[in-house]
A = this chain, B = another copy of it.
């Protein structure tokens, strides 16, 4: 008996059970439901799958390596430095071709600085003095050039002088750049080699066009229409595409972002994954006037006299800082996001049905009738306390008979 019961149970597992539906011949709600269905299906297919590629697993953790190489020569002639020739080994800082690199376009050399005593620069406001008491001995000013000796040079009751300091003398003079000294830096070229990898998909590629024409990479220049995949950029073109004039920017320097954007649909294959270049100026913004425009820093070259005394040349260099940033996203078909998106869409269909039910059961004229048809009350409503399952079974058998 138990075996037969078990067998019945097992067999009943193979019965297919399907929800019983009530057909409400209500055109309004019917059409409303069809509209909701269409909207949701349209959203799933159109937006999720076609526009957002919801069937793809995405990898945004791009691994990137950038190498840069500049070419170009410039000659400058200043009273302090004389006739100078600048090659990439001088104007690119650091010279080893990093993703963040600085190109000198303007400079101020303070040659032959020696450690000693001299007047603080008049640029340093805290170094102004009228008498020795204004200069605290042994004190250093945060924005100053050395340590105060306690003496005030050239200051008296009527005129403002500057404190004497111990430091690298003479101090850098005041300088208001008027024009870019390395004016032809505009024509320098930068070769950007970018190697990327999407670890999740074991996909790697380089931005250098795969071409059998060897001379192409020697002569091409990037142009978003004619040569969109040429990795060699003219500096003047970069700033122009960022919306600024190179010569204006070269005077005080600036910071330019070169974004390399990899948006790869790996379902389409290796050759369809191309970089796109975007250029932005980073050190200025229309809305934010408080950011000082320009970019400069100081570096030094140390020399030794034959007497053993150290002296140095201080260079204040202005220039354009290029920041090559790589951003990327790869998508590839995957069952998990597809299932999540389809599943969620279907669940939304259920929500649509629930909404239509509410309309049908509570807002329509014949609501009560629909409600009573939809919710079939069990006999427990009357005989709940009896718990007579034998009778239940008989009743339901009766029902089955009736239904035949």
Contact = CB atoms under 8 A, between A and B. Distances in A.
A58 B149 CA distance: 57
Given A25-B384, A345-B347, 9 more contacts: A21-B376, A73-B147, A85-B146, A197-B280, A204-B285, A209-B290, A216-B290, A395-B404, A402-B402
A296 B98 CA distance: 12
Interface residues of A, number: 161
Interface string A85-114: 101111001111110101000000000000
A83 B115 contact: yes
A210 B288 contact: yes
A98 B94 CA distance: 11
A399 interface: yes
Given A166-B83, A299-B95, A404-B379, A283 B67 contact: yes
B378 A75 contact: no
B168 A87 contact: yes
Nearest to A61: B60
A73 B73 CA distance: 35
A257 B65 contact: yes
A80 interface: no
Interface stretch (A155-163, A241-249, A349-357): A349-357
A144 B184 CA distance: 14
Given A17-B24, A24-B16, A288-B208, A344 B351 contact: no
A392 interface: yes
Given A17-B375, A374-B20, A60 B63 contact: no
Q: Which of A26, A343, A396 has the most CB of B within 10 A?
A: A343
A266 interface: no
8 contacts: A14-B31, A18-B21, A18-B24, A23-B381, A73-B141, A195-B255, A345-B347, A402-B403
Interface string A251-282: 00001010101000000000000000000101
A368 B389 contact: yes
